[in-house]
A and B are shown apart, each in its own frame.
Chain A
Amino acid sequence: MPWDRNQMAERAAKELEDGMYVNLGIGIPTLVANYVGDKDITLQSENGMLGMGPFPFEGEEDPDLINAGKQTITELRRTSYFDSATSFGMIRGGKIAAAILGAMEVSEAGDLANWMIPGKLVKGMGGAMDLVAGVGRVIVVMDHTNKKGETKLLRECTLPLTGKGVVDLIITNLGVLEVGHKGLHILECAPDVSHDDIRAATEATIV
């Protein structure tokens, strides 16, 4: 049984350690916050906040308090606010231990593509290029294949890159893969998924 969205998020949360400052992307990565348990994790929101809290109760939404996905959120006792230049100073400066984000494609060399599809989807990179260039560890959480059933783990990315050689770990619905010097290493398989299943669903070199 491949992992579902929540199980992928739960697996990603295992990568986080006590004391880490972490940036979570939009989509499945956001769910990771639900699985950090007792670990002392401080979430950064790149629009200018450390110590991001959960969604507000209905009626307590504050238009001045949103996350990078423009969703209403809350603050915690530890929260601090700052401007965008300071926010990306801490990202670029390597102060954020890890970023967990989604992807359209990842290559065997750890190249990441997640910001545009030429001629079709033009949204922009937001803070993703800064994050993958600056944070300590880049963890991608995504489905192993796209909606057409094609693999998202490629020898070379076909879409415009967000970063070159930046991905450290990939968590998909099929398992966990680490980016090594000569290709991807399978670290873990989802229940009832075999190494061969992962190889069959992967174009990238698996060593």
Chain B
Amino acid sequence: MKKLYASADEALDGLLRDGMQIAAGGFGLCGIPELLIDAVVKSGVKDLTIASNNCGVDGFGLGKLLDTHQIKKMMSSYVGENDEFMRQYLSGELEIEFNPQGTLAERMRAGGAGIPGFYTKTGVGTVIADGKEHKEFRGETYILEEGIFADLSIVKAWKADETGNAVFRKTARNFNPPAAMCGRVCVMEVEEIVPTGSLDPDTIHLPGIYVHRLIQGEHEKRIEQRTVRAREEA
């Protein structure tokens, strides 16, 4: 089974259609599939529903898909730091379904694990619980949340072997494994594709079964908030 593709455009060939649901990995700008996002922008596919914790920033990451008005709806937990997002939302051009961050992650994980729904305490007594089934377990109230079954996952890892076994780096792992799991098809971009057999099987973070197409490329890896401390404090 061939998983390696030469470019993001080729890797997405035949997978994109208007109105589809895409799950994207990343937290803020950390660990986002920047090459695949650029390819989605280039494709011109529209009316997208995107499940992603954030929507990038103005002009970078998923923010690029806002500039081109390709997104119809976002499923996110946090959309600050993005003026265009706020503008489109407040003017009614863009729909947003706010999900608590952990609920979003678990909805992706659950969808990928074949679990259509689960109960959680998160959001009970808030607007998030409106219209959702409430149920008592062990004397406490929980709400029903549904698994996400996306048409496509776009994710980013640090390294993968040719079979898609993937390793992430530090906090760039974040939403990438659950996002990868919940898509019918998952396309992954990595900084380095290494020969199969060169990764220690005990250290694989995401088994290749979840990865259908794979590309390698150069990443800008932009930093959103550069914070440092003075040397003297050491």
Q: Report A's interface with B, CB cutoff 8 A.
A: 45-49, 54-58, 60-67, 69-73, 75, 81-85, 87-89, 91-92, 111, 119, 122-130, 133-134, 160-165
Contact = CB atoms under 8 A, between A and B. Distances in A.
A160 B123 CA distance: 11
Contacts of B198: none
Given A63-B30, A92-B120, A125 B100 contact: yes
Nearest to B169: A64
Interface string B47-84: 00000010000000000000000000000111111000
* List of 3 A-B pairs having minimum Cβ-Cβ separation, nearest first: A88-B102, A164-B125, A130-B102
A124 B89 CA distance: 12
B154 to A, nearest CB: 16
A158 B79 CA distance: 22
- Residue picked from A57, A65, A84, most chain B C-beta under 10 Å: A84
**Band of interface residues on B:** 35 or more
Interface stretch (B9-17, B36-44, B131-139, B216-224): B216-224
A10 B125 CA distance: 32
A82 B175 CA distance: 10
A126 B77 contact: yes
B122 A61 contact: no
A164 B98 CA distance: 18
Central interface residue in B79, B89, B103, B205, by most chain A CB within 10 Å: B103
